[in-house]
Amino acid sequence: MTHIEAYKSRIRTAAEAVQGLKSGAHMAMGMATAEPPALLGAIADMAENGAVEDLKLWYFHSMDHAGDTVLRPDLLGRIRPRCMFLSSVDRKLLSTKQPGEKSPLEFVPVAFSDSPRLFEQEVSLDLFVTTVSPMDKHGWFTFGTSNDYSTTAARSAKKLVVEVNPNMPRVFGASLLHVSEVDAIVEHSTPITEVHPPEISAVDAKVAAIIADMIDDRACLQMGIGALPGAVCALLHDRKDLGIHTELMTPALAGLIHCGAVTNQAKTTYRGLSVFTFAMGDRAFYDFLDDNPAFHSAPVNIVNDPRHIAKNRNVVSVNATLQIDLGGACNSEHMMGRQYSGSGGQLDFVRGANASKGGKSIIACQSTARNGTVSRIVPRLDGPVTTPRNDTHIVVTEYGSVDLKGKSLIQRAEALIGLAHPKFRDELANGL
């Protein structure tokens, strides 16, 4: 059978493709912009009609397609979310919980880099569904914007169903999937979800300027999600021979490629290539990513492996946090008494940058939250430790920066109090 014949023989409607899904099954979906809307809609219909109960749904970072289908509040119970990184969709779902009720979703703590092993060794997946780019003339799809855990989950699940979307970018790297590996194919043309950066505040601009001054020519960049990393990138257009080895590829990082600041020529691994494991942005960004050999997509257990990150020199990792205690420990995932996001890959890149020769791990935040009423520098954390104090390197707020390496606990506390908002400094100092 030729690959064309194999493709045609596997074409199904979305409803046909998920037939056979049993109650109590474990399934996973492609994350973020790789959510397959037609397939998720068909699964939601099965749950709504009572055709499936107690379906365990595993995922990172849900978006609107999932929120409109499998993560609808009225389907909870029949579909049981097992979330490993909360998004606004999941936080909205949690807000439906009434006093005394069981949580509408179960949060599963796991490092992003360890998620492929989870699907390969710990969770027996009955079904994996995701969006892929169209098949080429040789029979190969790509995982497009979301390599992450998808390449492992796709090959570990008992059944793999893909939604082929002509709007999904075709990417280079370790992202290929052959038609012979697929059990069913659903063709569905729909715009890929676009993610636009939030507006940069005046405080974020101050923090970004401090961080940008720490980034020299030939640095290898990892930027986290949100407005701050984009603000930092906007200040780096005059740098030379920057490299990219990042979890998330964004329009801000792509802009550094456009302007020539990124050449990847100083990197040790994947020289000449911008490495990432998933991508989110606008349509122009997806068009730039499509069929562009300057990018290299790889699974998250490769991209986020601290040992692999550290092979490059001068790695600069920039990530945000919610709280920092006076010893330097960071809570980047829990606020107002509940899980807010997840650990993601923060600690992976903190450790990778720390182990890189000339590397800098930067943890950044505004000094206050809730319109200035709450200090982000605190005596002790309100939630779990995302980055332990042993690993924290450089901390930045709008009041400056501090390198915590080699400092005693009292020296750390004094330095971090200096980064707090002035109105909280006396209170923090009195607690020493």
The distance in angstroms from the start CA to the end CA of the chain is 73
Residue 39, both tokens = 């397939």
CA distances from 316 to 221, 243, 330, 353 (A): 5, 10, 18, 6
Q: How confident is the model at residue 431 (pLDDT cuts 50, 70, 90)?
A: confident
Res 85: pLDDT: 96
Instruction: Report the pLDDT averaged over residues 253-281.
Output: 97
| DSSP assignment letter at 253 | H
Question: Residues 378-405: what's their mean pLDDT?
Answer: 97
Q: What is the pLDDT of residue 95?
A: 84
Tell me what the mean pLDDT of segment 219-230 comes to.
Answer: 90
pLDDT higher than 90, residue 376: yes
- pLDDT at residue 12, as a whole number: 97
**C-alpha distance from residue 430 to each of 308, 379, 404, 409 (Å):** 43, 10, 21, 15
DSSP class of residue 102?
P
pLDDT for residue 387 is more than 80: yes
Confidence of residue 199 (pLDDT cuts 50, 70, 90): confident
Is 247 annotated in the active site? yes
Per-residue confidence (pLDDT) for residue 102, from 0 to 100: 80
Range with the poorest average pLDDT among 41-55, 142-156, 335-349: 335-349
pLDDT tens figures, 137-158:
999 999 999 999 999 999 999 9
Which pLDDT score, from 0 to 100, does residue 198 have?
83
For residue 316, pLDDT beyond 90: yes
Q: Which letter, b or e, does each residue of 90-110 get, where b requires 16 or more Cβ atoms within 10 Å of its Cβ?
A: beebbeeeeeeeeebbebbeb
Segment among 94-98, 148-152, 234-238, 283-287 with least mean pLDDT: 94-98
State both tokens at 316: 């600069």
Average pLDDT over residues 9-32: 97
- The residue-averaged pLDDT of 300-314 equals 97
* Residue (of 403, 424, 416, 399) closest to 203 by Cα position: 399
Active-site annotation holder among 247, 333, 414, 427: 247
What pLDDT score was predicted for residue 246? Answer: 98
Lowest mean pLDDT among 148-162, 335-349, 409-423: 335-349
Average pLDDT, the chain: 95
Domains of the chain: 3-187 (3.40.1080.10), 202-430 (3.40.1080.20)
pLDDT of residue 7: 94
Which pTM was predicted? 0.95
Tell me: pLDDT of 45 over 90: yes
* pLDDT at position 1 over 90: no
d(CA 182, CA 275): 26
Q: Does residue 419 surpass a pLDDT of 80?
A: yes
Query: Region 89-114: what's the mean pLDDT?
Result: 88
Name the phi and psi angles at 187, rounded to 5.
-95, 125
